[in-house]
Structure formats: C-alpha cells, structure tokens
Amino acid sequence: MKSYWFDNESGDQREDHDSFRPVDTEYLSKLGVLYYHCPSIDAVNAIAVERSYKHRDEVVISPEKMGAVYEEKVKMFFSEHLHEDEEIRYILDGEGFFDVRSVNDEWVRIRLKKGDLIILPAGIYHRFTTDSNNVHFTSPTSSRMLMQLM
C-alpha cells in the first residue's frame, strides 16, 4: 500500500497521479480508513469474523471478464460516492486505487496491490479505479455492498 495526496493533474484516472506528498496510515486512520496487509485468505477470514461480516462478493475488473461494459463500469466506480455501510476490499490480484476525501476536501490516493485489505468507513466520499492492468478483488461485506457492485 502506498498513500499520497492526489496531484489533480489531468490525464487518465488509471495513472498514479502521485504528488510525491505522502500520507501515512495514522492520517488515514483519523479519516476512519483502516489498512491491513493480509498475505493469506486466513488473515482476511479472521478480520471478517472479528468485524462480523457475513457475506462476500468477488469482482474481476478487466475487459476480458466484463466485455463491452468494462469502460462504463470503470467510469462508474470512479464517480465520487459514499455508502451507509463500511466498504471492505481485499485485493486478490492486480493493483488499483481508492481515492478518499480528506477533512479539507482534498483527495488522498491509496494504491493497493495483491494482499492489501482496506476498510472505508460509512459516509466517507470515495472513488475507485483500476490501474492500467486491471484488478481482481473480493469483499467480506454486507449484502448491500454485494448488490452495489453488480
């Protein structure tokens, strides 16, 4: 995981947009964003039990798996939004970015890769995009989240 202030430069959303101004996990936790590195699914399972998650979904975001709707879905995920419940994502393969709004209304970009798990609190404005290589993630979440991703 790597987190930093989004550079707000124009260009493809799937690029790094790294301002070279790092953001540490302490700041992320003040926003309510929790990060874990989980080298195995057993670590994910332990977090799911600890936090009483009952449902899971698995999403593969790639042109091969999504076909003609791929570009539309990637743009939809990148639209700023929030949820009434936590959003939890564990990266099974690939890399992607979650952007979250700071207390000063700036974007913090969080680059996640295989083995990274992120928990976004309810009510935080965020958006998601793949990197240029796409991503495969799973989520130990509520059924509400499962429906939002379909």
> What percentage of the chain exceeds 90 in pLDDT?
59
Closest residue by Cα to residue 139 from 100, 101, 83, 79: 83
Category of 83 on φ-ψ map: left (φ > 0), alpha (ψ -120 to 50) or beta: beta
Helix or strand or coil: residue 85?
Answer: coil
**Which tens digit of pLDDT belongs to each residue from 98-118?**
999 999 999 999 999 989 999
CA distances from 18 to 6, 12, 15, 34, 147 (A): 6, 13, 9, 21, 32
User: What's the pLDDT score for residue 100?
Assistant: 98
List the one residue out of 53, 62, 127 whose CA is nearest residue 92: 62
Mean pLDDT of the residues in the chain: 86
- Per-residue pLDDT averaged across 71-88, rounded? 90
pLDDT at residue 31 is higher than 90 = yes
